[in-house]
Amino acid sequence: MSRFEEAERLVSSLTPAEKAQLLRQIASQLGDSFPGVETSPDVCGGAPRIVRTRIPVWLLEQARRQGAREPDLLRAYPSLRADDLATAWAFVDSHADLIEEQIGENEAA
């Protein structure tokens, strides 16, 4: 069994919360690389957004600050998955200044 296959087997036995924790750990080890977040100048005004969607990371963080819980966000945005939120929170942690700026710009608009 390869190391990857063994890792797959182990990950499949984790709870969703443990998987999210593992994803955050992996994301922090990748540094500034966020494969679940993309930026395109012609989509969402160039704001970092969750892949496969037009949902900006700043919007999710703003909702979280206003008291939205992860289950609420997953219901409100059916295209999101739990791992998308884990990636978003990791992105927010490592790009706090950018997210703060984007929230401020959109509150002022």
Residue 70 and residue 91: Cα distance in Å, rounded? Answer: 16
Question: Is 11 a residue whose pLDDT tops 60?
Answer: yes
**Residues paired with residue 37 on neighbouring β-strands, in sequence order:** 50
Q: What is the mean pLDDT of residues 48-76?
A: 96
Question: Is 31 a residue whose pLDDT tops 60?
Answer: no
Of the chain, the percentage scoring pLDDT greater than 70 comes to 94
Residue 20's pLDDT band (cuts 50, 70, 90) = confident
Residue 70 and residue 34: Cα distance in Å, rounded? Answer: 20
26 vs 49, more confident? 49
Domains plus CATH for the chain?
A: 16-108 (1.10.10.10)
Average pLDDT, the chain: 90
Question: Is 52 a residue whose pLDDT tops 70?
Answer: yes
In tens, the pLDDT along 75-92 reads: 999 999 999 999 999 999
Burial of 22 (0-12, 13-18, 19+ CB in 10 A): middle
pTM: 0.70
Matching residue, tokens 């499949």: 12
